[in-house]
A = this chain, B = another copy of it.
Amino acid sequence: MNSNNSAVEIETAVKLSVDAWLLSNRRMNTLVRNLTDKELYSHVAPGKNRGVYLLGHLASINDAMLVLLGFSDRLYPHLEPLFVSNPDNIYEQYPSIEELKESWCTVNYTLLGYIEKMQPGQWLEKHTAVSDRDFESDPLRNKLSILISRTNHQNYHLGQLTFLL
């Protein structure tokens, strides 16, 4: 294996994961655009989360990616207690769907801007929630692992949200 080949290979492998993220994100965008407010306020299945909760949940998880990937601070830290660290329906007030859709779009648009500037090798650098020492003993705790796990998480909930259509 020569250096040129390996550089092409790492570029290819990283591009596949980035493309998988973008595809999943685009599918979520299309779904969110097509769902009415009434549909989003419905439960995805009897006794399960409301669509609006999953939308806020994914917006907040993606918002946290900005931090984990070392891009910026969170844009919407107030979403975390509402949609990640607590279950649905325990607060008196939730953001409107219009506001959540706007947060969702802005987070993903912001992420995309940073992702497009990443060089393949940068994805293999440590993410911000792991220490230098821990990263040295486990180089799999890198930025690419964040992207892959968040893609899988997004697809998991995407499968549920389609039930609202």
A115 to chain B, nearest CB (A): 16
Q: Please choose the segment from A66-74, A93-101, A106-114, A144-152 that sits at the chain B interface, where 4 or more of its residues have CB less than 8 A away.
A: A144-152
Residues of the B chain whose Cβ atoms lie less than 8 Å from the Cβ of A145: 16
Given A1-B7, A12-B124, A12-B142; 16 other pairs, CB 8 A cutoff: A1-B121, A6-B10, A8-B139, A10-B10, A12-B140, A13-B124, A13-B144, A16-B17, A16-B140, A16-B142, A17-B17, A20-B149, A45-B46, A155-B155, A155-B159, A156-B159
Interface of A is mostly: helix
Contacts A9-B6, A121-B1 given; indicate if A140 touches B15 (C-beta within 8 A): yes
What copy number does this chain have within its complex? 2
Choose one: B3, B13, B148, B163; the contact of A1 (CB below 8 Å). Answer: B3
How many A residues face the partner with a CB closer than 8 A? 42
Residues of the B chain whose Cβ atoms lie less than 8 Å from the Cβ of A158: 156, 159
The 6 A-B residue pairs whose C-beta atoms are closest, nearest first, are A6-B6, A156-B159, A45-B45, A13-B13, A159-B159, A3-B3
Residues of the B chain whose Cβ atoms lie less than 8 Å from the Cβ of A123: 13
Against B, the Cβ 8 Å flags (1 = close, 0 = not) of A1-31 are 1110011111011111101100110000000
Against B, the Cβ 8 Å flags (1 = close, 0 = not) of A128-153 are 00000000000110101100110111
Taken together as a complex, chains A and B put the C-alpha atoms of A81 and B3 apart, in Å, by 45
A119 to chain B, nearest CB (A): 10
The reply on A44 being an interface residue by CB < 8 A is: yes
